[in-house]
């Protein structure tokens, strides 16, 4: 069985407060990027394995979210061991949600292949146990997210016809690095109200709270964001906790980011 876990971007990311459990409450909008995707396949086997091709992922297979998704469902359902194969195209440490997407799609594939009849809501609950933004990929449409990023609601947002450029230099940003020195504070203008404005005004109100500290540590990212505007972007930002910078354009721009991961598509 094969599926194609897609990437996502964050439109705005407000770190609202630190929780008593050590995590942070956030507000953001997730938007799927269907053109950029991994390829995930599994077949029944007498032993569970995971082979990864394309972009290299460090760590043991049993620590990968794909295998964790399988084990999570095996706790409650009779599911055989699986040989899993992942063609990794979505960069890691990029703020594009590739690992979370792989996990969520694995849950959906197992549910379909073995006819478990798990409802979408319960799939979201399983996904949340694997990671804060995993549940989004069960829904996989523009969504307003709050708390740890796992409380989701629909948002009336369409970027159809816009052109997006994703650029990731050879920089890896850990979650620890992202949250170091972050000062939680709720925005004066609510995220929901920002999306009532034209895209051309987003840059005045729509921010990623991680940018200030991360740009100070990695000035190249700030330079890429400015280049996006130089190339004619109507809005540009870092996605999630980085290190991808995206730009939204009215039409395909003439850009040049040599030596970096670059992905372009119409939305």
Tell me what pLDDT residue 172 has. Answer: 87
**Which positions are catalytic?**
8, 133
pLDDT value for 30: 98
DSSP letter at 91 equals P
| Residues 13, 7: Cα–Cα separation, whole Å | 17
pLDDT at 87 over 80: yes
- The pLDDT score that the predictor gives to residue 232 is 97
pLDDT digits (tens, 9 = 90+) for 88-107: 999 998 999 999 999 999 99
pLDDT of residue 88: 98
pLDDT score for 242: 86
Q: Average pLDDT, stretch 110-134?
A: 97
Residue whose entry in the numeric block shows the structure tokens 């979650």 = 175
Closest CA to 74 of 110, 46, 42: 110
Query: Residue 175 pLDDT more than 80?
Result: no
Question: pLDDT grade, residue 205 (50/70/90)?
Answer: very high
pLDDT the model gives residue 180: 81
Mean pLDDT confidence for 131-155 = 95
Assigned CATH topology for domain 163-266: Alpha-Beta Plaits (3.30.70)
Residue 121 has pLDDT above 90, yes or no: yes
**Distance from C-alpha of 120 to C-alpha of 246, rounded to nearest angstrom:** 30
Report the pLDDT value the prediction gives residue 12, as an integer from 0 to 100.
Answer: 97
- Domain ranges in the chain are 2-154, 163-266
Instruction: Identify the pLDDT of residue 22.
Output: 83
User: Who contacts 266 (Cβ-Cβ below 8 Å, separation ≥6)?
Assistant: 161, 162, 163, 164, 252
Asked if 2 and 87 touch (Cβ cutoff 8 Å), the reply is: no
The CATH number that domain 2-154 falls under is: 3.30.230.10
What is the per-residue pLDDT for 237?
A: 98
The 10s digit of each residue's pLDDT in 33-81 is: 999 999 999 999 999 999 999 999 988 989 999 999 999 999 999 999 9
């Amino acid at each position: 069985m094969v599926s194609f876990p897609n990437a996502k971007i964050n439109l705005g990311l407000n770190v609202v407060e630190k929780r008593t459990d050590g995590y942070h409450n956030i507000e953001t909008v997730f938007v799927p990027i269907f053109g950029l995707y991994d390829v995930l396949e599994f077949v029944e086997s007498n032993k569970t394995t995971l082979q990864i091709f394309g972009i290299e992922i460090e760590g043991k297979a049993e620590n990968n979210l794909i295998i964790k998704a399988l084990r999570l469902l095996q706790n409650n359902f009779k599911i055989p061991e699986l040989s899993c194969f992942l063609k990794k195209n979505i960069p890691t440490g990029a703020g594009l949600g590739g690992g979370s997407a792989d996990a969520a799609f694995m849950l959906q594939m197992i549910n379909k292949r073995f006819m478990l009849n798990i409802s979408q809501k319960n799939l979201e609950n399983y996904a949340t146990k694997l990671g804060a933004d995993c549940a989004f990929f069960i829904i996989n449409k523009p969504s307003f997210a709050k708390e740890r990023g796992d409380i989701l609601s629909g948002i009336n947002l369409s970027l159809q016809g816009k052109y997006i450029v994703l650029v990731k230099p050879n920089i890896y940003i850990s979650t620890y690095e992202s949250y170091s020195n972050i000062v939680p504070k709720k925005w004066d203008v609510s995220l929901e109200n920002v999306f009532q404005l034209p895209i051309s005004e987003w840059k005045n109100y729509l921010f990623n709270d991680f940018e200030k500290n991360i740009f100070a540590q990695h000035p190249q990212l700030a330079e890429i964001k400015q280049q996006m505007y130089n190339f004619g972007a109507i809005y540009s930002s870092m996605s999630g906790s980085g290190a991808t910078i995206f730009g939204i354009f009215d039409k395909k721009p003439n850009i040049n980011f040599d030596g970096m991961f670059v992905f372009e598509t119409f939305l």
